[in-house]
Structure 1
Amino acid sequence: MAFPGESAVLRVGKLLCTTIYSKITIFFKFHPNTDSLRAKMKELSDSKQNIEGYLESTGKQGKVAILPVKDWIPKVNNIEGQWNSMEEDIKASQKHFCGCFPNCYLRYKLSKSSEEKIKEVKELIDTRANFPEELAIPNPQPESVQEMPEPSIVDQKAASELLDRLKELVLNDDIRKIGIWGMGGVGKTTLVSNLNNMMADGSLAHPFDIIILVTVSSILDLHRIQLQIAERLKFKEELEKESEGRWATLLLQRLKKQKKCLMILDDVWEKIDLDKVGIPQGDLLGCKIILTTRSVDVCNQMETTVDIRVDILNDEASSELFSKHVGELPDVEEIKSLARDVAKECKGLPLAIKVVGGSMRGKKRVEQWRKALRGLRTSAPKNIERVEDDVFQPLKWSYDSLEGQNIQHCFLYCSLFPEDFSIDEDELIRCWRADALIDESMNIEESRESGVDLIES
């Protein structure tokens, strides 16, 4: 407060003295402040250890910490880390310059920090005091199996045989990884979905505590895979609170609590590093893995124990599946004959058969069936409802995904041969070389090696 006649110089002097006095006071409180903080930190750390011991004990009973406790523990961990760093500085401040003078600035800084930290620690201690008596609640366990919306294939002979084989492999403890491979549209996802649903409805007894289905897709995104697994485990909210770098560790710990787990990785396009995802493997606690993929190379890279190839359907199986989706046909011989031809034009692809069969369901006139057959034979998808979106678009997308020098051109080159023509490999490679799809500077042997590699791709 300024007094009448008090000079500006005097007021500034008083302000400086007040500031200096405050700093000197904080400096001389170095020991009381740091000792007080040390005592409060011990009280806080002891409280945290007691809670963690309690949670470990209740965790064995299937309980998890309540949300306030989940939020409180990381805050305590954070302030403990800050205190450990401060203690190193406190030890350093005990050393004197030239054996005589203390490090005044460091002591002032630590004393001031201690005053601030004491307030934070007190808040955490007060928060702990307000916790309810029950610090853990029963963990809502996920269902062991979730049924999927997929039509049954048990009445389809070829598919049913594959399903029987898959069931035997899944129940065999000696087999850890199963690969299911084949071109797009042949029903790999339908196969594993039917297996899942049989376990869900109890028609297939199984030993798994939980069955987890993950959709992978062509663009490999490990975090997306981890979130799908965490959501299935009812663990997603907790996972997202942590840094993404810790997700694999946390998922590994969570999955190891399951005695037996079946992990289905659907639509895998390239090798997945299971360790980076957090999927336990290689021991009694490991998950049994089923993966579906278009390429047997992916099965090899993932080191599958057994592989099942899902191929296109033969004429008998195609006709059987088509009949199921098209429903009852009019008692007209020409329509029945056209229906058999339409089914054949689907080339054994279950996806195409289902879509075309469904689109022709209820069609009673010969003209409608002739138009459908003509549309399929002339590759005009617009003539048949839903075929463009459900069949041709996925096929085009698969074509667009072909990678590597000239691979698309080499693929399209095959369309120059007649339909159902048997193409000789050596002849095809010579044609590719003549049209500069293979480097002309290569010798004959090198050209053939490059050509074989393209054919395999």
Structure 2
Amino acid sequence: MASQVVELAVVDVGKTTCNKIYSMINIFFKFHANTNSLREKMSELTVCKKNIEEDLESADKQGKVAAQPVKEWLTKVNNIEGQVNSVEKDTTARLKHLCGCFPNCCLRFKFSKSSMEEIQEVNQLIGSANFPTGLVVNTWLEPVQQIPGPSIMDQNAASKLLDRLMELVLNDHIRKIGIYGMGGVGKTALISNLNNMMGDRTFSVQPFDIIIWVTVSSITDLHGIQLQIADRLKFKEVLENQSKERWATVLLERLKKEKKFLLILDDVWEKVDLDKVGIPQDLMGCKIILTTRSLAVCNQMGTNENIKVDALNNKAGWKLFSEHVGELPDVEEIKSLAMAVARECKGLPLAIKVVGSSMRGKKRVELWRDALRRLRMLAPTIERVEKEVFLPLKWSYDSLQG
């Protein structure tokens, strides 16, 4: 019995050893077959990858991005492509070094076995290229993002400017619109109301696929402008993965996928080189609005039409001031002082709002006299500083309690 057990064990070991040896010999002699088969499978995988990337590119134009399983699949494909290319280069180099011969049995076996393993991995990737939940997820870009801020519809002059601006925006022959005027007169309020109207108003056909609002803090910070645009397009991660030297090119290609878009450049102090940013200017659907303090900047930017925003007249200024100061005491002297305070704000909406709000609820004549006195004292001290910036800041500071 013992001898039979030993005999069976020896036979099993022999079979296992023979099978392993046969498998190794088989792998060794199928070197060329395995490498050729791998190339064929890689070609099949490449076609599959190309089809998926084309579908993703088409979906990208509709504001959709690759689903996470698809991203992971593409990463695995890129990895196997790099792995196979590396092995092929190594194999080619060694064959060339040995004048086409391949006498090193260990290396021949190694490359043949590696090819078999990669064929298996490639087959798995090809088999998993069907995504039951879909290639993309919908990250549709809302055409308009509502901007918080007060309406100017009840301000007669501002409302007329808004109507004029809307008229220009809807004119297909106008590409660039400039809005200029001194600081604090409500240029940003004008375009924010336009933006919100685009979202609220029902058009038979929406004028733009997307409205992009950018605050231009400095023309030297082109990358900052580019990032704001990319963020609105949900394209920021893609842009940041590129070298900054290519940002303009990449952004240009992305913007060209939008058939119709409105770009708002708010608070432009000097000419912005749109080409360096990556903004297409030759597309029929591309329209640009810029706000600036200088008509010269509008001209330098090549605007087709310009709208000047002036300070409010005394009547409009008083109306806005009344809205922010609230109900005044039934005292004639306080009303007279309040009207004088409103006039000292020089028709600047920003100053009117700040001063009016700070005087809200003040019922003593002395406080109104002091407010008027302080406003009049400010003027000689700020000859070289823009009043529309200085006045509300100084007033806010002086109004702090404690």
Q: Which segment drifts farther, 124-133 or 191-200? A: 124-133
Q: Any idea what SS the aligned residue of 1:297 has?
A: helix
Match of residue 126, structure 1, among 124, 127, 131: 124
Q: Which segment drifts farther, 139-148 or 54-63? A: 54-63
Q: Which segment drifts farther, 160-169 or 295-304? A: 295-304
Query: Are 2:161 and 1:162 equivalent residues in the alignment?
Result: yes
Change (3 A) 1:217 1:59: closer
Displacement after TM superposition at 1:280 (Å): 2.6
Q: Any idea what SS the aligned residue of 2:214 has?
A: strand
CA displacement, residues 233-285 of structure 1 (integer Å, 9 cap, x when unaligned): 3334444455545544444344333332111111223333333433332122x
- Structure 2 counterpart of 1:216: 216
CA distance in 2, matches of 1:293, 1:122: 63
Change (3 A) 1:232 1:38: same
- Structure 2 counterpart of 1:194: 193
CA distance in 1, matches of 2:322, 2:173: 39
CA displacement, residues 285-332 of structure 1 (integer Å, 9 cap, x when unaligned): x42111112233332332211122223333333223222222222222
Percentage of identical aligned residues: 65
Q: TM-score, normalised by structure 1?
A: 0.65
Structure with the bigger RCO (C-alpha within 8 Å, sep 6+) is 2
- Structure 2 counterpart of 1:43: 44
**1:218–1:267 Cα contact (<8 Å) kept:** no
AA aligned to 1:51 is I
CA displacement, residues 127-169 of structure 1 (integer Å, 9 cap, x when unaligned): 5544533442352312221221110112122222222221111
Q: Which segment drifts farther, 86-95 or 158-167? A: 86-95
- Structure 2 counterpart of 1:422: none
- Structure 1 counterpart of 2:147: 148
- Structure 2 counterpart of 1:292: 291
**1:145–1:211 Cα contact (<8 Å) kept:** yes
Displacement after TM superposition at 1:176 (Å): 0.4
**2:61–2:257 Cα contact (<8 Å) kept:** no
Q: TM-score, normalised by structure 2?
A: 0.73
AA aligned to 2:337 is L
- Structure 2 counterpart of 1:352: 351
- Structure 1 counterpart of 2:323: 324
Change (3 A) 1:96 1:243: closer
Query: Are 2:377 and 1:378 equivalent residues in the alignment?
Result: yes
Query: Are 2:255 and 1:255 equivalent residues in the alignment?
Result: yes
Displacement after TM superposition at 1:183 (Å): 2.4
CA distance in 2, matches of 1:56, 1:134: 18
**1:334–1:366 Cα contact (<8 Å) kept:** yes
- Structure 2 counterpart of 1:68: 69
CA distance in 2, matches of 1:367, 1:204: 54
AA aligned to 1:391 is L
CA displacement, residues 198-256 of structure 1 (integer Å, 9 cap, x when unaligned): 22222787522222212221364333333333332333444445554554444434433
Query: Are 2:259 and 1:270 equivalent residues in the alignment?
Result: no
CA distance in 2, matches of 1:298, 1:119: 64
Q: Which segment drifts farther, 346-355 or 83-92? A: 83-92
CA distance in 2, matches of 1:242, 1:165: 41
AA aligned to 1:185 is G
Where do 1:388-427 residues align within 5 Å?
A: 390-392=392-394
- Structure 1 counterpart of 2:282: 282
CA distance in 2, matches of 1:332, 1:204: 50
Change (3 A) 1:57 1:147: closer
Change (3 A) 1:176 1:89: farther
Instruction: Flag structure 2 segments of 5+ consecutive residues without an equivalent.
Output: 1-26, 382-388, 397-402
What value does the CA root-mean-square deviation take over the aligned residues?
4.1
CA distance in 1, matches of 2:395, 2:294: 20
Q: Which segment drifts farther, 29-38 or 227-236? A: 29-38
- Structure 1 counterpart of 2:16: none
Q: Any idea what SS the aligned residue of 2:378 has?
A: coil
Number of equivalences: 360
